[in-house]
Structure 1
């Protein structure tokens, strides 16, 4: 069977937090015993190689970008001895001058010495994590890490905060090197599915990512699934003086313009794009954090909020990584982007908290709340007239319904005729969503919550993530999750909110954008095209 490889690209500091959780999830789910049933084809995201010592390596098929000073303990080489490269010349008798390496936290020390055994220990990540490299478990390929040397991480005076700064960098040496690394990865693939591009869409990485996405669209006839991402919190969110308020408002406007330019460019060059944020509004301050029952997370900690988004991406991508599922990236994009509606919403229900003594049929029959929470900013997912792709993982078939002898009132429900979790969810969505089309994928395995995933779960859950009958003293090890892609007329409102808000910003006040080469005519054209894109969602809906 063909591998159906995917190349993942990550642009930006917050996105790399998400990436660290995402790749930790993959690596810590590997089974080296052969005793565990594996539902995911890991070769889709990973590649096998050989390092300079002749040892076999298995590393993410990944390219990431971040600013100088953001890597801390992670070497630019990715942490593994470099692979033999026919384009690489060996130099002898060369003296290396290196800065002293930053000190590793205890978790990184332990995984260097103990490997997976470190997952059994307890660490204070909330206090110790200062950057995404403080909790990343995998070692990366030598070409994976790409540092932008022109800007320093955390520099308030010369921040990498303008869309056009990113596009300018892409057009020079950085883009040449990055695209050459893309080519090397693509040439290794036998039957590539496409590209997954995750990027911070509120700073200079937005322009850099869009330069890359435009390059991918021109050079390769493969689907591009993009996740423009907004962090859950910014340090300037809580100003206390008028001067701080003025600076915060200016930064808000800058982030909003970067977002609007990104969405417009994505509407032209991406195959499917899904904005993500764990806060309700997303711009002009991220707003209130999205609420997840039985999870108590701190939205100011990137380590926390990024874990939720990583869980959503991991669950959503099960659809085209599952061994038994015939879906590909092309299928997902075709299903979700009819009528030119390239922008979709995402949702996450975590944990899917059945009571440990409750059957799924009773939970779905009695619940009056949505079983998922929107992760797309300023977006309320409609219940009618929509297309959606739903992935459910971790609900055992034994939780489906009571045996015939014990069924009692359950037998009066139409859902009692369902003989699988998949059938029952299909019936649930058929009854809950009027004039809608829903495709459901079910994975047997739950989402595993191994260290260093945050332990922000309620004590009311047992170790399997279900609601315990009495107060549980067990550490949660896994949980059931539901996630979805959703598209329909309701997306017009999200685009309208972006367009209305950004249209209030006078171009004359965008001094840094003008300095970086953005012309008034180009800015107006982008906003006009964004308004036109919204029209794709306002036609009459027909299934």
Structure 2
């Protein structure tokens, strides 16, 4: 069976925080001994190559965009020797002029020196991480990193804050180089299944990403799965003076308009898109942090909140990367986007709070609240009349139910007839979701949360992420997780909130958009099309 390759894109600083965790999860799950059974076909997201010296490389099939000054310790070449692209050109013959790189933190230094095992060592990454490259484990292909040189990271005078700045940039040399890199990756693929695009939808990177989505839709007849991402926190979220409040309100308005325009344009060009954020509102401020049982994360640390979104993405992608599954990205898009409903919501339950001495049948029978938390902003996932794709990982079959001799009260529960984890979860969702359809994927392996994954787990968890650890707290190495895509009428409420909020903004006050050539009439048209898209979710339908 041929590998169904996917090309991944990351546009923006926070999207790269999410991406760094995502690729760490992949890389740290590799088995180099050949003794561990792997469930995932890594060739879907990775490519094999060769350096000019003939050394074999295995790197993410990935294109990244970020601003000048954001890479810190990561060289623009991705950290690997240059690969041969077949021109017979020797980079050793070229004099390379590079700025001195900042000193590496202890974790990165240990990776480079292959010193003491970094899995057994304690690091203070909460303090050490200043950017996403400070905890990035894998090395990248030389064409992966594409720096925007016209703007500087953290520059407050000339900000890359308007969607249309990204669109302008795409029409220049940057877009030409970027599309050339896309073409090179696509030409290497035998049987490509599609593109995954993760991007910050609150700033100029939205314009870059949307231009890329439109280009992909025009050039390639492949599925486009997009994640518009809203960061968990903005530095201007806690103003202390009236002047700061006014500035923060203006920035909130700009971010809100960028988000609304992103969703409207994705509804035209993406195959499926899923907005995600660990804040419950997303706009105007990210809002209160979503709560997860047995997790103590700090939403002001991108290093923390991005790990949650990466865990959800990794779990959701199991469906089209699983070796035993014939599902593809286009199947997922087709299943979820009937009636023109291209936008879906996402959820995450991490860890799945099962007691180490508890059977799954008792956990599901006794739980009184949803086993997942919505991670789509301003959205409450309905329980009725929905279509959902759920992935559960890391629940062992021996946790299913008690043997018949010890079953006692379990025998009275209808779920006792279930013979495996998949059947039991199917029955659970069938009982809890009226007039709904659930497609379930079960993965045997849990989510491995090895260093440099944040240590934000509650002390009650044992080594395997189950509840009930006694004595001294232990380092959690893996945990059971559930994640889902959900679609239904409930999405219209989120779109209604977004449309209502963005309609209150007086466009005449947003001078920066006008400076980029975006007219008031275009703005009104975009809002009208957003309202039309919302209508796709209004009509009753039958599954």
TM-score under structure 1 length normalisation: 0.99
2:415 touches 2:424 (CA, 8 Å); kept in 1?
A: yes
1:475 positional shift: 1.2
Residue 234 of structure 2 is aligned to residue 217 of structure 1: no
Q: Which residue of structure 1 aligns with residue 356 of structure 2?
A: 356
Cα deviation code 1:354-391 (max 9, x no counterpart) = 11000000000010010000000000000111000000
SS of the residue aligned with 2:518?
coil
- Give the C-alpha shift of residue 116 in structure 1: 9.1
Contact 2:256 2:284 in 1 (8 A): yes
**Post-superposition CA distance 1:494-519 (Å, at most 9, x none):** 01111100011111111000001101
- Tell me the TM-score normalised to structure 2 length: 0.99
2:306 is the alignment partner of 1:306 = yes
Per-residue CA deviation, residues 460-498 of structure 1 (Å, 9 max, x unaligned), is 000010011534532111000000000000000001111
C-alpha displacement at 1:94, in angstroms?
Answer: 4.1
Indicate yes or no: 2:154 matched with 1:149. no
Corresponding residue for residue 15 of structure 1: 15
Q: 2:347–2:375: 8 Å Cα contact kept in structure 1?
A: yes
Measured on the aligned residues, the alpha-carbon RMSD in Å equals 1.1
Give matches, 1:9-408, under 5 Å.
9-87=9-87, 89-90=89-90, 94-114=94-114, 117-408=117-408
Shift of 1:264: 0.3
Instruction: Tell me: CA distance 1:92–1:15, structure 2 relative to 1, closer, same or farther (3 Å).
Output: closer
Task: Give the secondary structure class of the aligned counterpart of 1:101.
Answer: coil
Distance between the aligned counterparts of 1:260 and 1:241, measured in 2? Answer: 28
1:24–1:136: 8 Å Cα contact kept in structure 2?
A: yes
The alignment partner of 2:117 has SS state of helix
What is the deviation of 1:326? 1.1
Q: Secondary structure at the match of 1:117?
A: coil
Unaligned regions of 5+ residues in structure 2, if any?
A: none
Determine the C-alpha separation between the residues in 1 that align with 2:401 and 2:23. 35
* CA distance in 2 between partners of 1:92 and 1:39 (Å): 40
Q: Alignment partner of 1:37: what SS?
A: coil
Verify the 8 A CA contact 2:199 2:205 in the aligned structure 1.
yes
Aligned to 1:447: 447
C-alpha distance after superposition, 1:419-475 (max 9, x if no partner): 010000000000000000001100000000100000000110000100115345321
Measured after TM superposition, the shift of residue 350 of structure 1 is 0.2
Total equivalences in the alignment: 543
Tell me which residue corresponds to 2:433.
433
Consecutive unaligned residues of structure 1, counting only runs of 5 or more, are: none
Seen in structure 2, the aligned counterparts of structure 1 residues 174 and 45 have a Cα distance that, compared at 3 Å, is same
Looking at structure 2, the residues matched to 272 and 216 of structure 1 have their Cα atoms a distance apart, in angstroms, of 14
Matches of 1:5 and 1:93 in 2, distance apart?
34
**Structure 1 residue 85: deviation in Å?**
1.4
Q: Equivalent residue for 1:486?
A: 486
- The Cα shift of 1:121 comes to 1.3
- The CA distance in 2 between the partners of 1:121 and 1:425, in whole Å, is 37
State the shift of 1:101 in Å. Answer: 1.5
Change (3 A) 1:472 1:366: farther
